[in-house]
Amino acid sequence: MSTYTILFAAIAFEVLGTMLLPASQNFSKPLPSAVLLLSYAMAFYLLAILSQRLSLAVIYASWSGLGIFSVALLSYVFYKQTLNWLSVVGLFLIIIGVTIVNLNKT
């Protein structure tokens, strides 16, 4: 499997887990809580695999930046949380930063 495919899968699992935090209702709902925990476990497992293939700077910048971007947009869609124009600008700056880190990976 491609390195970046694994990275995007790790990001997707982390985002899924984060999006299920409100649905778990402080871990009182068994199904969302179980999926949340499994998602985080899978994300960290994939990150461990990636740490042998890419630098931690690239992995963590991509994982955290794209995770923040995705959670913010999905929270807007599913949880009706607000995004003002400064938030949107900040999210796009995150994407620009992640892109720069990946273009100059070491």
**Binning pLDDT at 50, 70 and 90, where does residue 104 land?**
confident
Three-state SS at 84: coil
Q: How many domains does the chain have?
A: 1
Say what the pTM is. 0.89
Query: Contacts by 39-42 with C-beta closer than 8 Å and gap 24+?
Result: 39/13, 39/14, 40/13, 40/14, 42/9, 42/10, 42/13
Q: What is the mean pLDDT of residues 83-106?
A: 87
Q: pLDDT per residue over 61-93, tens digit each?
A: 899 999 999 999 999 999 999 999 999 999 999
| Domain assignment of residue 96, given as a range | 3-103
Residues written for the chain: 106
Between CA 55 and CA 39 the distance in angstroms is 23
| Closest by Cα among 102, 76, 101, 103 to 88 | 76
* Long-range Cβ contact pairs of 80-83 (< 8 A, separation 24 or more): none
Q: Tell me the C-alpha distance between 85 and 21, whole Å.
A: 26
- Predicted confidence at residue 57, as pLDDT, reads 86
pLDDT for 36 equals 97
pLDDT tens for 23-71 read 999 999 999 999 999 999 999 999 999 999 998 988 998 999 999 999 9
| Amino acid occupying residue 79 | Y
